Structure 1
Amino acid sequence: MVLFVHGTMDHSGSFRRIADHLPAWSIVGYDRRGWGASRGLAPPQPALADHVDDLITALSTLPKPIVAGHSYGALVALTAASQHPELVKAVVAFEPPLPWLPWWPTTAPWEQLIDDASQEGPAATAKALQEAVLGHASAGQSEEELTALGTALIREMTDPTISQPSFDPGTMTTPVLTASGTRSLPHHQQTALHLCDLIPAARHEDIDGAGHIAHVTHPRHFAALVEQAIAPPSG
């Protein structure tokens, strides 16, 4: 079984194409509070701890799955696994944002973009991040939808707790597969690679030709990460 945890400006449905490449697996997902079907569940200022608690609650009902997290979802997965390793078989962490590690820039490009765009309002902030990540704004979204997305985005990215260490990589006992795309921003790649060096039972894999949204653009390769997370180390 694998439980997917989505990142910011996303929802659980974005992992559906990955499920096509894991026919023998049970696939579980949920919309984090503030996003998708859980949009109305977000408190005025949700903190990382809220998302970690939600994941731990979900894990307590499942038979020790692999947890595969993308971006912010990978941070949630790593933090939950560090607190309750007995609930997690392994973690796949694709480009987690870890501002408290030395490989993260003082002002990362997307964080600066959000800070600048937020002066023009939530809808403009959502559009700006979509253009930065996708190369274009998503089509067919109303101003109301963009405002809701931007509001959740600003709340999540301005949470001060994400700049504080939420787990100790050196004491993690859960097997971890860190991953990054070869076309991702340099600090995303470096952080995922060096995180692997800090976690005792960790390995690193690249997805060749992928950027930050590899779960959407390279679903077969992302699915392979899930299978590799529990495969014996080669050599």
Structure 2
Amino acid sequence: MHGGAGPKSTWSGLESLTEHWTVLHVYRRGFDPSPPPLRGRQDFLVDADDLTDVFREYRPHVVAHSYGVLGTLLAAADHPETVRSLTLIEPPLYFLLPRDPEVAHLEQLGNTVLTDGLDADPSALREFLTLAGSPISDSDRLPEAAVTAIERAHNSRLPGQAHPNLSVLRAAGIPALVASGRHTAGLERICDALAEELGADRAVHPGAGHFVPAAPGFADRLHTFLSSVSSHSDNP
């Protein structure tokens, strides 16, 4: 389940998984070939509703990135029996660390861009894009792909409103892996806190920024994790 970037960008680097696993890409609303988003905005609550049907049909090992983690966790917490495992990559779960100043900065920055879109302060746009994996220098105009991404994200439901019931997932014994790219201290601490809440394995793979799936060693780490939990999770 991708986040603000499409599946092609998000999952680059994981092509080798197809040698061992059946890979199903979910396209969030607003990403072709899926239909436009409801009410014209990205919304993790809608993502959760959509994923509920997918999880019931396939009972998958779920790999989710960034904003896509929010709907994933909400759907999985409502019906934990419908997922085999969870791999969660750099989610904006700000509620986990409400008094952390760096996490608060990440939330404020994201809220500014999601609320104001292209009208946000240029420095905020550039910082946001850098954190999101699309660094832009001060002298550069925003490339078309970045403009499209910001326009798509404009007026999204804010991540700080997401409060998935993590205790349900831990109690259900769902195997989990939490991964990050060691490029932003606030995201590292969010991932540490999430791993602790879920009793999850923790992986850090620098080298690709926010797009951790492309980082050296991550594909092998994910394959190892999935292989280690597949026999356990194959039981209904």
- TM-score normalised to structure 1 length: 0.76
Name whichever structure is richer in helix by fraction.
Answer: 2
Which whole-Å CA distance do the structure 1 matches of 2:62 and 2:69 have between them? 9
* CA drift at 1:124: 10
Which whole-Å CA distance do the structure 1 matches of 2:209 and 2:148 have between them? 25
* CA drift at 1:147: 4.8
State the SS of the aligned residue for 1:204: strand
> Which stretch shows the higher mean deviation, 34-43 or 162-171?
34-43
State the SS of the aligned residue for 1:25: coil
RMSD: 3.3
Percent identity for Structure 1 against Structure 2? 20
State the SS of the aligned residue for 1:100: helix
Which whole-Å CA distance do the structure 2 matches of 1:22 and 1:119 have between them? 38
* Unaligned ranges ≥5, structure 2: 230-236
State the SS of the aligned residue for 1:93: strand
Counterpart AA for 2:222 = L
* Unaligned ranges ≥5, structure 1: none
Matches within 5 A, 1:76-95: 76-95=71-90
Counterpart AA for 2:150 = G
Match 2:96 to one of 76, 84, 101: 101
Q: Deviations over 1:182-224 (max 9, x none)?
A: 2x21111111111111124x22111144421112344x51452
Counterpart AA for 1:195 = L
State the SS of the aligned residue for 1:37: coil
* CA drift at 1:118: 3.1
Number of corresponding residues: 218
Which whole-Å CA distance do the structure 1 matches of 2:111 and 2:41 have between them? 20
Matches within 5 A, 1:86-165: 86-102=81-97, 105-108=103-106, 110-111=109-110, 114=113, 118=117, 120=119, 129-132=128-131, 133-136=133-136, 142=144, 147-156=147-156, 159-160=157-158, 162-165=159-162
Contact 2:94–2:190 (CA<8 Å) still a contact in 1?
Answer: no
Which whole-Å CA distance do the structure 2 matches of 1:96 and 1:71 have between them? 4
Which whole-Å CA distance do the structure 1 matches of 2:219 and 2:75 have between them? 21
- TM-score normalised to structure 2 length: 0.76
State the SS of the aligned residue for 2:104: coil
